[in-house]
Every structure is written in structure tokens, then in C-alpha cells.
Amino acid sequence: MTSATAGRTALICGTVGALLCLVAAPPVRAKAKKMLPGEEARLAFAPEVPPPITRRKPAIVRVTLDSSVKTTEINTGVTYTYWTFNGRVPGPFIRAREGDALEVHVTNSDQSGMPHNVDFHAVTGPGGGATVTTVTQGEERVAWFALLHPGLYVYHCAAPPVMDHIANGMYGLILVEPKRGLPKVDREFYVLQSEFYTKELSEGVTQLEFSHEHGVQEHPRFVVFNGQVGSLTGDGALKAKTGERVRIYFGNAGPNLISSFHVIGEIFDLVYREADLVSPPARSIQTTLVPAGGATVVEFDVEVPGTYTLVDHAIFRVEKGAVGYLQVEGEPRHDIYVSQDDPVGCPGCMVHP
Ligand SMILES: [Cu+2]
């Protein structure tokens, strides 16, 4: 057995509850009494979230992350060439369970020739997996990682220069559910904040170019939810009904800014601060800090119908795109919210549409 094979065998057999051994070398496999089951990872693209995991035993969870570039609108009438996982920014939301082994297949369809890889903040080991997943166009690498800690984690590309790969869109979230699962809610949403750094537009040009210099200066043109301005407005607004309980899985890919995540008109009933799914959650929170490369999970009941506004409460960032809506339908609740006069909108203010 080579050292690599022995190590891989040790990982799959040893850290995942000693159940056993999908890729074990023959002598080990022969001793296996029970094979750890394998399954495809549950994936969804923002703002969707894959359904909860109902099994109560560990599994090997397979996921393929393919890197490619894609040019699409970042703001109305303005395009940007994103670097992506699976063709989208943010990349897919991956749902797994504490004790699972993540089997990741990393591929590269990027015709520019750039190498890419994946650093999972959910992974214990050098580079969060980046050091063993670097691929160039046409290559595939496979690695297995034990998911030892429950939580909501950022993943991102960490190929050099790492800041450019993050700044151009190579990130997403992976949820590692606690072994007992999470409490049932009515709606779950995937929202990821990030910023984009671009050069000035020349006259007559509608394609924005990346600016490493503005990244160094921490001077973003856009601060957005789910990859582009307006992703959670208009037809993209989140929807719920009165009486429902909402959970938002909120990540911050940065690459520079800290988010002061707030929903205007709501108070978070629960905040799993910094996406800590082990400790008791905080209660009755107005705004929660989410560091670059970090995440949070918030829950709240929606009692009163109307439009609620997701913002980074560093409020000038609303003008850079950090705004989205949750539209709640239902009967009025005059026992909670009532006025002598009708509400007055403020067209153009963005926070009270
Ligand atoms: Cu990359």
C-alpha cells in the first residue's frame, strides 16, 4: 500500500466512526464488516436551500465542484466576467451532516488556463483541502474530508492569488447539520454577501473589469447579496406567509468587509452567532456581525404582512447593492402593528419600497 493509499484508508475508515471503507486497499477492505453508504450531496443555488437531512447515520457525501468563467450582468446594463463554481455566484449550497465524509471531485473547465481549488472552512487539515485539490483545465482531483464540526461554513477557491479568486466570485456555503438535525422551520433561504472591485467604465463600454488595486484599497464598487445587484428584489424577492418561521443561512465571502446583517422590521428570535450550531443560540437580536469568511444562521417568525428589507446596516452599502426584500403575505395584525393613517412609501429610498 502506498503512503497516500494508506492515509486515504485511514481517513475514511478511522475518522468517520470506523464504519468503513469505501476506498480502502484490499487488505483493509477484506476486514470491513460494514460499508459506509455513499450518496450524492444535496445541492441548491441561492436563494434556495437543499432539504434537511433525515438520515441519522453517517455517509460519504459526493460533490463535484467545477470551475469556469462566465460573463453576465452584475448590475442593470453592466456585465462582469465572474469566476465560478458550477457556473454560478455564489456556488452551490452543500448540505451534509456531522460525521459524514465529504468526497469532493474538483474539476476545471476554465479555458483561461488558471488553476483553481477549494478551501472548505468545514474541513480540518492544511488549506482546508486546497493543497490537495488544485486542478488546471481538464484535470480532476478527488479527496475525502471528515466533517468533524457542525456549523455553516464558507468555502472558496484558494489558488494564487487567493484574493483575486475570491474577489471574482469563487465561494459558497456548506452546512454541516448537527447529528440530531436542526429544528424544523417553514422557509429556509441561502443569502451570501460579497463585494466586487472594478476599474472605472470607459465611455461606451458596458463590461466592467476587475481591479486588484481597488481590492487592496478595500474600495468596492459593489456590495451585494447573491452575486449581483438586485438578486433579492423584484422577481427575486424572498417570499413567506404570516405565521411562518423563517431561517436564513447567511454567509459573508468578503473578501474584505465585515457585514452588519439586519432585517428592517424584524427582530431575530434566534441567532446562531458565527454559525455556532453547538451552543444555545442568542435571542432577540437586531443586528449581527458576520466576519469576512464567516457565516451566521438566523431565525424569526413573520407575524405582520408587508415587505422586510435585508441590509448590511453599514447603510451606505445599500447604494452599492447590499439590499434585498422578504415579502410576507397574510392578514393584518392590528394587535402588533397599527396606525391612524395609511403607510406612506418612499419611492427610490430602497429600504422601504
Ligand atoms: Cu480559483
The total number of structural domains that make up the chain? 3
Q: What's the mean pLDDT in 78-83?
A: 98
Distance from residue 201's CA to the centre of ligand 1 (Å): 25
**8 Å CB contact between 157 and 119:** yes
**8 Å CB contact between 221 and 229:** no
> In the predicted model, is pLDDT for residue 7 greater than 80?
no
Chosen domain end from 177, 210, 233: 177
**Residues 32-60: tens digit of each pLDDT:** 335 789 999 989 999 999 999 999 999 99
**Residues 316-335: tens digit of each pLDDT:** 999 999 999 999 999 999 99
Distance from residue 148's CA to the centre of ligand 1 (Å): 25
Let me know whether 11 and 101 are in one domain: no
DSSP line for 257-295: PPEEEEEET--EEEEEGGG-SSSPPEEEESEEEE-TTEE
Confidence band for 348, pLDDT divided at 50, 70 and 90 = confident
Write phi, then psi, for 139 (nearest 5 degrees): -85, 160
Distance from residue 24's CA to the centre of ligand 1 (Å): 30
309 vs 296: CA distance, rounded Å: 17
Confidence band for 30, pLDDT divided at 50, 70 and 90 = very low
CATH code for the domain of 323: 2.60.40.420
Residue 88 lies in a domain: yes
Distance from residue 135's CA to the centre of ligand 1 (Å): 9
Domain that holds residue 31: 1-35
Distance from residue 125's CA to the centre of ligand 1 (Å): 19
User: In Å, how far from its chain's centre is CA 93?
Assistant: 6
Let me know whether 260 and 294 are in one domain: yes
Distance from residue 75's CA to the centre of ligand 1 (Å): 23
Burial string for 211-224 (b: 16+ CB within 10 Å, else e) reads beebbeeeebbbbb
**Residues 267-296: tens digit of each pLDDT:** 999 999 999 999 999 999 999 999 999 999
203, 80, 168, 154 alpha-carbon torsion, rounded to 10°: 140
Residue 65 lies in a domain: yes
Cα separations in angstroms, 212 against 44, 72, 162, 172, 216 = 30, 20, 11, 21, 6
Q: Checking phi first, is residue 20 left (phi over 0); if not, alpha (psi -120 to 50) or beta?
A: left
Distance from residue 236's CA to the centre of ligand 1 (Å): 27
298 vs 247: CA distance, rounded Å: 6
pLDDT for 311: 98
Residue 348 lies in a domain: no
34 vs 20: CA distance, rounded Å: 6
Q: What's the mean pLDDT in 14-34?
A: 46
Let me know whether 254 and 157 are in one domain: no
Listed in sequence order, the residues at least 6 apart from 337 whose beta carbon sits closer than 8 Å to its beta carbon are: 304
Let me know whether 195 and 307 are in one domain: yes
Chosen domain end from 120, 154, 177: 177
Burial string for 32-52 (b: 16+ CB within 10 Å, else e) reads eeeebeeeebbbebbbebbeb
Let me know whether 14 and 114 are in one domain: no
Distance from residue 115's CA to the centre of ligand 1 (Å): 6
**At 297, is the secondary structure helix, strand, or coil?**
strand
End-to-end CA distance of the chain: 64
Distance from residue 109's CA to the centre of ligand 1 (Å): 11
Cell matching residue 272: 446562531
**Residues 213-260: tens digit of each pLDDT:** 999 999 999 999 999 999 999 999 999 999 999 999 999 999 999 999
Let me know whether 132 and 261 are in one domain: no
Let me know whether 115 and 65 are in one domain: yes
Distance from residue 91's CA to the centre of ligand 1 (Å): 12
Let me know whether 118 and 199 are in one domain: no
72 vs 66: CA distance, rounded Å: 18
300 vs 346: CA distance, rounded Å: 26
Distance from residue 271's CA to the centre of ligand 1 (Å): 31
Let me know whether 100 and 30 are in one domain: no
pLDDT for 263: 98
Secondary structure string (H, E, C) spanning 17-54: CCCCCCCCCHHHHHHCCCCCCEEECEEECCCCCCCCCC
Let me know whether 216 and 283 are in one domain: yes
- Bridge partner list, 91: none
Select from 116, 102, 138 the least CA-distant residue to 67.
116
DSSP line for 76-104: TTEEEEEEEETTBSS--EEEEETT-EEEE
Let me know whether 22 and 63 are in one domain: no
pTM score: 0.92
Residue with more model confidence, 212 or 22: 212
Distance from residue 8's CA to the centre of ligand 1 (Å): 25
Cell matching residue 106: 474538483
